[in-house]
Amino acid sequence: LYSSLNLASGCHGEALFVGTIIHSLEHTHMDWNLADPLWLDTTHTEYGKMAELGRIVKVGFVGNLPGLLFHKRYKGSKHPFYEKIYEEA
């Protein structure tokens, strides 16, 4: 799929897919699955620092922001890469 698309020179299609589609799905799933960022255990000896980062990500970068003046979803994008991705999905 990635190699059949005409992407900009030097652009790696799979990396573009992971960095855009998969990454945004991760944020969406975090929003669905973590109602309260305080559920994350920041005192855990092994994963406490990741829990701290998870709290920051949840409150600052996961929910929809009000008043955006630009299209932020890949669905409906007119770029050939995303049109092909949604066609295949």
Helix, strand or coil, per DSSP, at residue 88? helix
Average pLDDT, the chain: 82
Per-residue confidence (pLDDT) for residue 8, from 0 to 100: 64
- Is the pLDDT reported for residue 18 higher than 90? no
More confident call, 48 vs 75: 48
- Is the pLDDT reported for residue 43 higher than 90? yes
Helix, strand or coil, per DSSP, at residue 59? helix
Query: Quick check: pTM over 0.75?
Result: no
Per-residue confidence (pLDDT) for residue 35, from 0 to 100: 94
More confident call, 58 vs 66: 58
Torsion sign, CA atoms 34, 39, 42, 45: negative
Tokens of 54: 């998870």
Whether residue 24 contacts residue 63, with contact meaning beta carbons closer than 8 Å, is answered with no
